[in-house]
Structure 1
Amino acid sequence: MTLILGMILDALLGEPRWLWSRIPHPAVLMGRLIGWCDARFNAGNQRRNGVLTMAALVIGAGALGLILQALPTYLIDIAILAVLLAQKSLVQHVQAVGDALRLSLGDGRRAVAMIVGRDTKTMDRPAVARSAIESAAENLSDGVIAPAFWFAVAGLPGLLIYKITNTADSMIGYRTPRHENFGWAAARFDDFLNLIPARLTALLIWAVTTRPDPRKITREAPLHRSPNAGWPEAAMAHGLNIALSGPRSYDGALRDYPFVNDDGNHDLTPDDVNRAVDTLWKTWGAALLLAVVLVIGAEV
Structure 2
Amino acid sequence: MKKIVMAFLIIILIIIAVIAAGVVAFILFAQHREANYYNYTEVAGEIEQTYTALGNKEVSYQEYDADVEAIGKYAVWYPSELETSDNKYPVVIFANGTGSTSSTYKPFLTHLSSWGFISVGNDDENTRTGASLEETIKFLIAENENKESIFYHKIDLDNIGIAGHSQGGPAVFNMVVNQEHGYMVKAVYAASATSSYHTMLMADGWEYDISKVNIPTFLTAGTGSWDSGNATSKEQVTDDANGVVQGICPLWSLQENYNLLPETADKVIARKKDVDHGDSYKQIDGYMTAWFMYHLQGDTEAGEAFAVGGELSKNSLYQDVLTNIKI
TM-score normalised by structure 2 residue count: 0.25
* CA radius of gyration, larger in: 2
* Structure ranking higher in helix proportion: 1
Q: Which has the higher contact order (CA 8 A, sep 6+)?
A: 1
TM-score normalised by structure 1 residue count: 0.27
* Structure ranking higher in strand proportion: 2
